[in-house]
Amino acid sequence: KQEVTQIPAALSVPEGENLVLNCSFTDSAIYNLQWFRQDPGKGLTSLLLIQSSQREQTSGRLNASLDKSSGRSTLYIAASQPGDSATYLCAVLQTGANNLFFGTGTRLTVIP
Amino acid sequence: KAGVTQTPRYLIKTRGQQVTLSCSPISGHRSVSWYQQTPGQGLQFLFEYFSETQRNKGNFPGRFSGRQFSNSRSEMNVSTLELGDSALYLCASRLGSGANVLTFGAGSRLTVL
């Protein structure tokens, strides 16, 4: 069964710092990997989606990479801002399945 | 265009009652998935519907059920509620299957007393 792990569980950084969030998965047979953001009590906002054939995707200050063979993905946030404070979740869509397997999330706090 | 709409946003029930949650997908999206989010278990897949047919089901007891209508709107029902059913229930829609991006609604927060 696919298992998705995110490290660290929580992270506090001062405003302006660059940071990396990590995601690992046990089964490399995936269609794609998505990074989501969740604000307290709210739904999920999709940030980036990387297809299994891609190595990385970029959107503004966000860059996500995927190394399928090693079962790892990273989300890089440049020049962090207080508005980036949220929980970040990664999820994989496994080949042959129609549902996402989610990690437990990293709670990010950016201190002004 | 409108996003995924879930109703109600908040509700409180007591043990033993049943509850029905509704999800309206993005126009044109035919697939609707449901997920349960709890502090202890995180986000877990409940089921997915496509063109009114359940296509995939997670590991939840039979008390959890769902359906999809011809306009792609979906409902999920939980019968004989237990305290552990307290959670944020999230609905997501996408065009079809495979690599399409899922778009999530804001969720329905259920509290069971």
Structure confidence by residue, pLDDT tens digits, A29-75: 998 999 999 998 888 999 999 999 999 999 999 999 999 999 999 99
Give how far B100 is from chain A: nearest CA, Å: 9
Strands B74-78 and B19-24: antiparallel
Average pLDDT value for residue range A13-33:
95
The tokens for B60 are 């939840």
| Whether residue B39 has a cis bond before it, omega within 30° of 0 | no
Asked whether the predicted pLDDT for residue B100 surpasses 60, the reply is yes
Question: Which tokens in the block code for residue A22?
Answer: 């990590």
Average pLDDT over residues A68-90: 96
Q: Over pLDDT 90: what percentage of chain A?
A: 84
CB B21 within 8 A of CB B89: yes
What mean pLDDT, rounded, does chain A reach?
A: 94
- Exposed e or buried b per residue across A17-45, where buried means at least 16 C-beta atoms within 10 angstroms of its C-beta: eebebebbbeebebbbbbbbbbeeebbbe
Q: What is the DSSP string of A35-101?
A: EEEE-TT--EEEEEEEETT-SEEEETTEEEEEETTTTEEEEEE-S--GGG-EEEEEEEEETT-SSEE
Interface contact A89, partner B, CB < 8 A: yes
CB A106 within 8 A of CB A38: no
Give contacts of B97 with chain A, Cβ < 8 Å: 98
